[in-house]
Amino acid sequence: MDSIANRVNKLKERFPAGEPHVLEYAARAPTLSDAINYLREIYGNPTSQPSAWAKPLKVSTAPTDPRERARARALESTTEEDSKPEFDVSEYKIKECRNRAGCNCDNYHHEFERRRNPNKTHYSEIPCPNVFNGSWRAPVLCSKGNNCGHSHTVNEASYHPRTYKTKRCLKFDEGTCHYGIKCAYIHGNNDPIAAAWKRKMEMISQPKTSQPVSFAPKVSLASLIQRDEPPPESDLSPSAWTFMPTVKNPVEELNLKMQKRIEELYLKTLCSICYIKEKDTALIPCGHLFCSECLLQTVTAVCPICRRDFRDKLTVFL
């Protein structure tokens, strides 16, 4: 078997424009053919643009012990952590999804959705020039990795504390936005989440002490929506960023639950990529559903959710 250094030299001959850290990452693939296919999807041909759905490289890290394999399979099952009833913007698209449910999920399913935790990693809302060049490319193209001070994905730029709820949602005005309270843009003229977030940022921007202010302010959005004045110091809790609608009586609580249930059922029929068109095409053998228009835009024959190769497409009616 070739060493990593020998593979890097062979890959460098095929891809002269490849960055050293990208070539070294690709050289750790199980076979040289897998590494070449991975680099083709990132760099493409000299006359083509990099694919927006580049297939993640599968590095041989599978456990050999049967007990470890059983534990790894257990992590793929659905957990309560991946299906929280409330929306916490500070955790949105930061953790990897364990059950691979792409529709309206709070966790990311591939590197193009991932967000770094702004409470742990300080970065700006400005896109990284190594990753964004008219369109978002693979985050691995940046040699600084997680230490980069710029945004690497559209979610990092849209849900950044300085850009979150600062621009108007055009899809909402057209009646085609289905993200609900999870949307990063302002919905209409009376968006309660946008108003609460604005008051929250104004309160944080006013220095009260000489202590440094946290990058991601820890103030509950729900507490700001329920009252007009800023909360006192005692209201600052670890449950920051979490938005829960205020319920005044049992009738409103029942209506809220019914409305949420209807929204969940409606979102299940929408494409997991655009959330606009209804699902009408299934991929074989994984069985994930998408709209035909989104599948026509994919360059590689891999599922956008599970990243597995598919052999055929099947038209379905929900």
pLDDT in tens, 229-271: 444 443 434 444 444 444 456 777 777 777 776 666 665 677 7
Residue 100 tokens read as 């691979």
Please give the C-alpha separations between residue 72 and each of 25, 61, 66, 303, in angstroms, as whole numbers. 23, 11, 10, 21
Residue 5 φ then ψ, to 5°: -65, -40
The gap from C-alpha 290 to its chain's centroid, in whole angstroms, comes to: 18
Q: Tell which wins on pLDDT, 300 or 192.
A: 192
The gap from C-alpha 229 to its chain's centroid, in whole angstroms, comes to: 33
Closest to 52 measured CA to CA, from 60, 65, 42: 42
How long is the chain?
A: 318
82-103 pLDDT tens trace: 445 566 788 888 887 765 544 4
Q: Which of 20-29, 149-158, 180-189 has the highest mean pLDDT?
A: 149-158
The answer to whether the pTM exceeds 0.75 is no
Q: How many other CB atoms are there within 10 angstroms of residue 160's CB atom?
A: 20
DSSP code at position 231: P
Contact yes or no for 152/170 (Cβ under 8 A): no
Indicate whether 280 pLDDT > 60.
yes
* Look-up of token digits 């095929």: 14
The gap from C-alpha 251 to its chain's centroid, in whole angstroms, comes to: 35
Report pLDDT for 206.
Answer: 67
Mean pLDDT, the chain, integer: 72
Which residues are within 8 A (CB) of 2 and not within 5 positions of it... i.e. 6 or more apart? 10, 32
Please give the C-alpha separations between residue 282 and each of 260, 271, 288, in angstroms, as whole numbers. 26, 11, 6
Report pLDDT for 64.
Answer: 57
**Domains recognised in the chain with CATH numbers:** 1-65 (no CATH), 84-263 (no CATH), 269-315 (3.30.40.10)
Residue 66 φ then ψ, to 5°: -60, -35
Contact yes or no for 194/186 (Cβ under 8 A): yes
What mean pLDDT is predicted for residues 62-68?
A: 57
Q: Tell which wins on pLDDT, 49 or 205.
A: 205
Q: Which of 130-134, 210-214, 301-305 has the highest mean pLDDT?
A: 130-134
Indicate whether 114 pLDDT > 50.
yes
How much of the chain, in percent, has pLDDT values that exceed 90?
Answer: 8
d(CA 219, CA 230): 10
- Distance between start and end Cα atoms, the chain: 49
Contact yes or no for 274/294 (Cβ under 8 A): yes
Contact yes or no for 286/303 (Cβ under 8 A): yes
Please give the C-alpha separations between residue 214 and each of 121, 122, 151, 160, 161, in angstroms, as whole numbers. 11, 10, 19, 14, 11
